[in-house]
A and B are shown apart, each in its own frame.
Chain A
Amino acid sequence: MANRAESLTSGNVGALSTQKQGRGGRIPWTMIIMYLILLIGVVIAILPFFWMVSASLMTYGETATRQWWPSVPQWGNYAEAWREAEFSKYFMNSVIITAVTLTGQLITSILAGYAFARIKFIGRDIIFALLLSTMMIPAMVTMIPNFQLIANKISFIPLPGGSWLNTLQGITVPYMVSVFSIFLLRQFFTQIPWELWDAARMDGAGHLRFLIRVVLPISKAPIATVAIFGFISAWNDFLWPLLVTTTDTWRPLMVGLWTLQSEAGPETQLIMAASVITIIPILILYFMTQKQFTEGIAT
């Protein structure tokens, strides 16, 4: 019986596939070409990373040769890069900066995303459109006034505690909001059935309680997506920290990597080792949460 069913279905599939082949007849060929293109794509996407790792393990002399892989891997390069220019400090700074920025961003985005999706108030759509339009503003325009603001040079907006240059709040606070995250969360929150809200309402819950008790537990996926993107942009950020850190105190990894490059000059192997160090946390996060990534941005 099972056999027959199997032959039946496979017969169907066979009929379908011959039907398909009847049109082209060269399907295996197109398949081969397609895999070939994909393979070339993979090589191009991966090669720079391979090269980064390979060069990071070479001796200084080897980086100038035609070798693809060091004859003896120099793991000491990593230790040297780590010691050079206080990389351990930069690494910790980056971890703290990313954590603080991300926390702030999640709180503001979840609250705003919820309000824009589920609370009716006057001017809601206009405010939302205004927020969206700010995504078009080039950083170059806002950078200079923001620098003035953080340096406490704008007299009518005094900052608590004076200038925020070289402080944690100076680096993180301007990035504690993400319009993209608000937009993404709002999309998801609008899809939550209203019956849930009505039921919560009967139990006497307000918006905040409903948000924390009901909405958050069922929104783990979109929140994870937003968190991952927040993590990456905070970790990878370069221009703003470069401007507001003149000392080592809160200098993050990316700025440290750049200064290392301008100081170490031709010592390619050290620069590559340092680059690998900055990439590793992102890679770990990426491979752990792969699905959230590619599906998250496609919504």
Chain B
Amino acid sequence: MAAASPPASPKRRKRIRWIDVQEQLTGYLFIAPAVLLVFMFGLFPIGYAFYMSLRRWRVVDRGYIGLANYQKIVGDWVGLLMFVAGFIVWMLAYLVWNRAFKSETLRGLIGKLILAFVLMAGGAFIGLGWGRMMATGDAKFLRSLPITFYYAVGSVPIQLAIALVLAFILFQNIRGREGFRMIFFLPYITPVIATALVFRFIFSPRPTSLANRFLEAFGMQAQKWLFESKPVLQILAGGDTILGVPIQGFWAGPSLALFSITLFGIWTFIGYNTVIFLAGLGNIPDSLYEAAEIDGANKAELFRHITLPLLSPVTFYLSLIGFIGTFKAFNHIFVMQEPSAQGTVETASIAIFNTFYKASQFGYATAQAMLLFGIILALTLVQNKIFGERVFYG
């Protein structure tokens, strides 16, 4: 940079200082519009949301009420504490597992036993705490959290796996790669409202709907899809037990309605993930493959020991934004929800929206939103801690 050359005389130094000040001002002026807007509509609202969450506010502000809104959500603070403590125990157990019990067999065995015990204890804490919260808190909102969890866990890993397969295939010598890529990307860019409306039609409970015709082709019974509040597992098992094990509550998993919405989510995002994976594959140097081939590695080994590790930053990035995305998801769930699904598709975002828009409880809705924000932050941190360590940055 020309302006950064060392000053030769005091006179010159003075001029450079002036240029420097001018430079600074220009910089601030250039970023001013963007920063102002981000501050107004992105950062300030967080502070204001927190402020609102501490007040009784139904369309009109009725004054400070402290943590009462939060109290209403979680009900029992001890329950919340137990719940969180259970998760922290799990986290610690994971860290201990990684650090200490890797090599020696006897110590490893004892360690595993202790660890299993600790895990069970943590799980019990989580269950107990959750039970106390459900009994005294806002069960409707609390129930939306495992639903969001199902949606996230049901869609992100599957869409990543499928996208990786597609990207890997496209990366081989495939004729018409551009065409395939273009088609796979299509669902991602088309308006969600429009595509979600088609999926409403596809997953309609009519016996002639596309989804039911598909089942029919495999000799299966027609289903109610988006109108079905029963868990998928119970439908598959034909009752509420599998091999004598009862499937109820959290372990029964998502309803068929939520499952249908998850399928839509996967359909939408596969193309995006594929394109990013494809770019990631392109960045792996050929020389690595060649070297490994000379050493006699076969295709599977190449994939396992070169492709996967070198792709891990991309995978990590995609899973991170995937999880954040599912926790923020709103539009398509809003369009595809049906009263007959009995709230089994009501994710946290939908619940917050209903509290705000339908029930007009502004203060309470912001408290729910702040809680969701906290959960997203915590999850991001955990994901960073657990998977970030495994990412290989070359």
Which residues of A are at the interface with B, using a C-beta cutoff of 8 A?
23-24, 34-35, 37-38, 41-42, 44-49, 51-52, 55, 63-66, 107-109, 111-112, 114-116, 119-122, 124, 127, 130-131, 134, 136-146, 148-149, 154, 157, 173-174, 176-177, 179, 182, 194, 197-198, 201, 206-208, 232, 235-236, 238-239, 243, 254, 257-258, 261, 268, 271-272, 275-276, 278-279, 282-283, 286, 290, 293-294, 297-299
In the complex the two chains form, is A115's CB within 8 Å of B31's CB? Answer: yes
Q: With A108-B33, A278-B193 given, is the CB distance from A140 to B352 under 8 Å?
A: yes
Contact of A144 among B42, B270, B366 (CB under 8 A): B366
Among B118-126, B134-142, B194-202, the stretch in contact with A: B194-202
Other-chain contact of A51, B46, B187, B201, B352 (Cβ < 8 Å) = B201
B45 at the interface (CB under 8 A from A): yes
With an 8 A cutoff between CB atoms, is B243 at the interface?
Answer: no
A275-B194 in contact (CB<8A): yes
Most interface-central of B26, B197, B267 (chain A CB within 10 A): B197
Query: Which residue of B30, B181, B331, B353 is within 8 Å of A140 (Cβ)?
Result: B353
Asked whether A138 and B328 contact (CB < 8 A) given A145-B48, A238-B192, the answer is yes
B290 to chain A, nearest CB (A): 12
Residue of B nearest to A139 (CB): B328
B256 → chain A, closest Cβ, in Å?
Answer: 19
- B372 beta carbon closer than 8 Å to chain A: yes
Q: A141-B372, A145-B44, A279-B194 are in contact. Are A41 and B324 (CB under 8 A)?
A: no
Please pick, from A136, A140, A243, A258, the residue contacting B193 in the complex, using a CB distance under 8 A: A258
Taking CB atoms, residues of chain A closer than 8 Å to B194 are: 52, 257, 275-276, 278-279
Residues of B within 8 A of A (CB): 1-3, 23-24, 26-28, 30-31, 33-35, 37-38, 40-46, 48-49, 52, 165-166, 169-170, 172, 174, 178, 180-187, 189-195, 197-199, 201-202, 206, 208, 210, 213, 267, 270-272, 275-276, 278-279, 298-299, 324, 327-328, 330-331, 334-335, 348-349, 352-353, 356-357, 362, 365-366, 369-370, 372-373, 376-377, 380
Residues of A within 8 A of B49 (CB): 141-142, 144-145
Distance of A65 Cα from B33 Cα, bound (Å): 55
- Let me know if A34 and B48 touch, CB within 8 A: no
Most B Cβ at <10 Å: residue of A46, A116, A144: A144
Could you tell me if B184 and A140 are in contact, using CB atoms closer than 8 angstroms?
no
The answer to whether A37 and B169 have CB atoms under 8 Å apart is: yes
If A138-B327, A144-B369 touch, whether A119 touches B30 (CB-CB below 8 Å) is yes
Measured CA separation A127–B32 after assembly (Å): 11
Given contacts A134-B43, A145-B52, A243-B357, 4 further A-B contacts (CB under 8 A): A112-B31, A148-B48, A290-B182, A294-B185
Other-chain contact of A42, B37, B45, B183, B213 (Cβ < 8 Å)? B183
Q: Is the CB of A174 within 8 A of B41?
A: yes
* Given A115-B27, A261-B197, A136 contacting B324 (CB threshold 8 A): yes
Q: Which of B24, B197, B369 contacts A138 (CB 8 A)?
A: B369
Can you give 17 contacting A-B residue pairs, CB < 8 Å?
A49-B198, A111-B31, A116-B31, A120-B27, A140-B352, A142-B41, A142-B45, A143-B356, A144-B369, A145-B44, A254-B193, A257-B193, A258-B193, A272-B201, A279-B191, A293-B189, A297-B275
